[in-house]
């Protein structure tokens, strides 16, 4: 069974990697969105550390056809494996829960899983390319910035979406208007982000009301889906140097892209976690009130039974005195 899971992780990583390479910016293999990293971390969180060979195999298959040397491919594959493993260990250490229903879990995923854990892969990968001659030493930091952005974005936008699908129960019995609202939310997020990424001025802030709407009304599942849509459209725009990303170089575009995607993910995930905590606290208070009400009714019923007991008869009172 473990071998099947490892193979499934490898295949999924490989397919997602090929899709991610469609937006490559550096040397045909460094992309601002690497969904495979988000899939790898989600696989570790859901299936356990034993599936790490699937990550290594998938990374090797993706890079073997584009790497400059077999040594560089092995180094990149090792970095692509170590990054999600390190992120997984960091999250496990702080007691991360895959439901993402606490504020601390959302903060841990952003800062430990994405920002800190993903420092490993660009350092190892870009360093391997420089040592193999695939990159000039002066190209290390631009490649590193794109690499780190891609891996971090994979964790920020793909991992929460996969965890939400895995842990959220679909409300099939809700009112049809709820489904209409959800569809309008997804479509509106897509259209607004498309407009913001083709306009000559920076209008990306227009996306945030939709992210707030998604978190307030649909919690983690809606927030993760809208953040995924907004980040994907923004990354495609940055890769094509269109809209607000047209007037800057690679490094500045990656900084702007990381700032937007990080802010979008933080807004969506943190607000969704806060709403989940609020709803859970409300439900706990409601349950406590229900139990207290039941106890109060039981005590009142017992008191009425005591009051309604017939008084002892005169003969019984005299016998009691004689005794």
pLDDT in tens, the chain (323 residues): 889 999 999 999 999 998 888 766 655 556 778 899 999 999 999 999 999 999 999 999 998 978 788 999 999 999 999 999 999 999 999 999 998 888 899 889 989 999 899 999 999 999 999 998 888 888 888 888 888 888 988 998 899 999 998 877 766 677 888 889 999 999 999 999 999 998 888 888 999 999 999 999 998 989 999 999 998 898 888 878 888 888 777 778 777 887 888 889 889 998 998 998 888 888 899 999 999 888 888 888 777 666 555 666 655 555 555 55
Tell me the two tokens of residue 125.
Answer: 């990968």
Cα distances (angstroms) measured from residue 98 to each of 58, 106, 205: 23, 10, 29
Indicate yes or no: pTM above 0.85: no
Of 123, 95, 125, nearest to 109 by C-alpha is 95
* Cα maximum dimension of the chain: 112
For residue 1, count CB atoms less than 10 angstroms from its CB and return exposed for 0-12, middle for 13-18, buried for 19 or more.
Answer: exposed
């Amino acid at each position: 069974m473990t071998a099947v899971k490892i193979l499934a992780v490898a295949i999924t990583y490989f397919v997602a990697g090929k899709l991610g390479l469609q937006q490559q910016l550096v040397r045909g293999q460094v992309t601002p969105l690497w969904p495979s990293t988000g899939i790898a971390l989600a696989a570790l969180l859901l299936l356990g550390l034993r599936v790490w060979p699937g990550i290594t195999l998938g990374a090797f298959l993706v890079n073997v056809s584009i790497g400059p040397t077999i040594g560089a491919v092995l180094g990149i594959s090792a970095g692509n494996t170590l990054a999600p493993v390190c992120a997984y260990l960091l999250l496990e250490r702080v007691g991360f829960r895959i439901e993402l229903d606490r504020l601390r879990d959302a903060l841990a995923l952003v800062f430990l899983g994405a920002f800190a854990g993903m420092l490993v892969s660009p350092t190892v990968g870009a360093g391997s390319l420089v040592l193999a001659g695939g990159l000039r030493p002066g190209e290390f930091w631009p490649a590193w910035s794109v690499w780190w952005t891609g891996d971090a974005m994979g964790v920020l936008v793909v991992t929460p979406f996969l965890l939400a699908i895995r842990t959220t129960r679909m409300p099939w019995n809700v009112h049809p208007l709820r489904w209409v609202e959800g569809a309008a939310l997804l479509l509106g997020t897509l259209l607004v982000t498309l407009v913001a990424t083709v306009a000559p001025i920076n209008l990306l802030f227009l996306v945030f009301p939709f992210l707030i709407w998604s978190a307030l009304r649909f919690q983690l599942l809606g927030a993760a889906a809208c953040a995924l849509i907004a980040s994907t459209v923004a990354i495609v725009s940055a890769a094509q140097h269109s809209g607000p990303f047209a007037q800057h170089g690679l490094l500045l575009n990656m900084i702007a892209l990381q700032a937007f995607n990080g802010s979008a993910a933080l807004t969506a995930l943190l607000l969704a976690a806060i709403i989940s905590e609020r709803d859970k606290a409300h439900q706990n208070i409601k349950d406590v009130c229900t139990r207290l009400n039941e106890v109060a009714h039981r005590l009142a019923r017992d008191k009425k039974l005591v009051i309604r007991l017939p008084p002892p008869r005169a003969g019984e009172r005299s016998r009691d005195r004689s005794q």
